[in-house]
A = this chain, B = another copy of it.
Amino acid sequence: MTIGDVGRILFHRIPEGEDLLPAIRKAAEAFEVRAGAAIVIGSVATAVLGYFREGQYSYLTFNGPLEIVSGSGNISISEKGDVIAHIHLAVSDENGRVLGGHLSEGTIVGVTAEVTLIEAKDLRLLRKKDEKTGLNLWHLS
């Protein structure tokens, strides 16, 4: 477990046409967030959502416009010090049907995306490669 005091809260709007995942990562980098929670709402033009089974991701692409019903996740860092945004996304279509998965590159913001990050002060939330799964899992002291 890793625990610290809550620090800053950051609100960032990502404009139409941007790639959502790298844009969240860049916002965290710009403010040197090394550990935190993330909440995202808004809309997407396209969603690329991952599903993990038997050691690998498959990716589904859904074309919109789609509402971002929820974006939930966290900000951490790799052993090299790179910022990682791990976000899971649920989106809804014109009939209210919801699709979801692991937010992946190529998910393009629709009208707007509103990102809120809640930071842990003076904390580094580290990920390390897990041999068994091949995933970068939280490595908590």
**Interface: A21 (CB within 8 A):** no
Residues of B within 8 A of A114 (CB): 73-74, 86, 138
CB distance from A109 to the nearest CB of B (A): 12
Are A6 and B4 in touch, CB under 8 angstroms?
Answer: no
Residues of B within 8 A of A9 (CB): 3-6, 35-37, 118, 120, 123
Chain A interface bracket (under 10, 10 to 19, 20 to 34, 35 or more): 35 or more
CB distance from A61 to the nearest CB of B (A): 10
Residues of B within 8 A of A49 (CB): 92, 96
**Interface: A72 (CB within 8 A):** yes
Write the A105-135 contact mask toward B (1 if CB under 8 angstroms, else 0): 0000011101010111001010000000101
How far apart are the CA atoms of A45 and B62 in the complex, in Å? 25
Residues of B within 8 A of A18 (CB): none
How far apart are the CA atoms of A62 and B58 in the complex, in Å? 20
| Contacts A11-B35, A96-B99, A98-B99 known; 17 new A-B pairs at CB < 8 A | A1-B10, A1-B30, A6-B119, A9-B35, A9-B36, A9-B37, A11-B74, A13-B137, A41-B72, A41-B87, A51-B93, A51-B96, A62-B96, A70-B88, A86-B114, A90-B90, A92-B101
28 A–B contacts from the bound complex (CB under 8 Å): A1-B10, A1-B11, A1-B27, A1-B30, A1-B31, A5-B7, A6-B9, A11-B35, A11-B138, A13-B138, A39-B73, A39-B74, A40-B72, A43-B52, A51-B92, A51-B96, A52-B67, A67-B88, A68-B88, A69-B88, A69-B100, A69-B101, A74-B116, A92-B99, A92-B101, A96-B100, A97-B99, A112-B138
